[in-house]
Structure 1
Amino acid sequence: MPKFSWHTDPVPAGLAVRQVYGFLFVPDGRLLIRLDGSKHTLPGGRPEPGEVAYADILRREAMEEVTVDIDDPHYLGYQCVNDSISPYAQVRMAALISCAHPPAPDPDSGRTYRRLLVNPSSAGDLLAWGETGYLQATAAAEAAVEVLGLPAGGLPPTGEL
């Protein structure tokens, strides 16, 4: 069973980054959650050959999976995954959605994902990633206010984008 740990420092040299996921916010402060059936997750995925910039990976994945454009992403940290083979990193970033396009099929899976806008305080519960998930969601909510300049309270109710 893999073990997960959350780190806010840069990914150490030599630790492979296998995934980049984003906490993506709309200007009113709500967070976009990708729905895959009944599973709640963040937009993101694996780097493609030649991709090394986390921001570029996240921009591509955000467009492919949930058809949104994002402003410059802010690095939050990484989750270290220690599995039976070798440890690797899953990078987490926060960004503001600058434009939402009509939903379209993901070119990789052919599925069109639902896009749910939620209060960031509910992200830890919805993602169901355990303690490290709550730490990530807290870091994202803080960055939304402190870095992205989004409102912290009085958010509209949950809805679809």
Structure 2
Amino acid sequence: MEITQVYGWLVDGHGRVMARIDDGHWGLPGGTPELYDSDRVATLVREVDEEVQVRIADPVYLGYQEVLHPNHRSHAQLRMVARITELLPRRPDPDNGRIHGRILASFDAVLDGLNWGPSTEGQAECARRIAEARWGLPVMSPTAGPALD
């Protein structure tokens, strides 16, 4: 099955998740695999740098959701969770020339902003558990409030 999307639940040291805001719509950072990406982790690393200018470490594969189209081939959208290690200065996304908004907020706030439905709740819960167990991050009660830029 073709992979058409690699998105990440990116968690900072305060237990907050990063969302990308574009034209008022919330999304997870990530994007489309390119032929020059060595693997799907490379896709995520490149895309989050391009879209929201962050560096990440220790990405963990969460799974994928299969997208079914009646007149087209099915495809997969991969999801990962990773730890944010650095926020970089803002710059335009080379794909479209825009500087996307980025927000760091609690998992619940990001879920509300995304409004992607029940499948997203399961992804968020898996990402939350990994961030807490693997990296010791305070995801149930972030140690800083929301930040938008």
Shorter-chain TM-score above 0.5: yes
Please give the per-residue CA displacement for 1:8-56, whole angstroms capped at 9, x wherever unaligned. Answer: xxxxxxx111110000111111000101021000110001114251110
Deviations 1:73-126 (A, max 9, x none): 111111111112011110000111111111110001100011101101222221
**Gap regions ≥5 residues in structure 1:** 1-14
- Whether 2:147 is the aligned partner of 1:159: answer yes
Contact 1:23 1:32 in 2 (8 A): yes
TM-score, scaled to structure 1:
0.86
Aligned to 1:7: none
The answer for the alignment partner of 2:2 in structure 1 is 16
Distance 1:82 1:49 in 2: 23
Residue of structure 2 equivalent to 1:54: 40
Task: Check the 8 A contact 1:95/1:148 in 2, yes or no.
Answer: no
RMSD: 1.3
Using the aligned pairs only, state the percent identity: 39
CA contact (8 A) 1:123 1:137 kept: no
Aligned residues: 147
Quick check: 1:81 aligned with 2:56?
no
Q: Distance in 1 between matches of 2:125 and 2:63?
A: 12
Q: Give the one of 110, 118, 123 matched to 1:136.
A: 123
The AA in structure 1 aligned to 2:17 is: L
**Is 2:30 the counterpart of 1:39?**
no
SS of 1:115's equivalent?
strand
Q: Secondary structure at the match of 1:51?
A: coil
Contact conserved, 1:22 with 1:42, CA < 8 A, in 2?
yes
1:145 counterpart = 2:132: yes
**Helix, strand or coil at the partner of 2:92:** coil
The residue aligned with 1:91 is 78
Q: Which residue of 1 aligns with 2:100?
A: 113
**5+ residue gaps, structure 2:** none
CA distance in 2, matches of 1:33, 1:137: 12
1:105 touches 1:111 (CA, 8 Å); kept in 2? yes
Amino acid of the residue matched to residue 146 of structure 2? T
- Aligned equivalents of 1:50, 1:113: Cα separation in 2: 24
Alignment check: 8 A CA contact 2:6 2:31 kept: yes
Specify the alignment match of 1:9 in structure 2: none
**Deviation for aligned residue 1:147:** 2.2
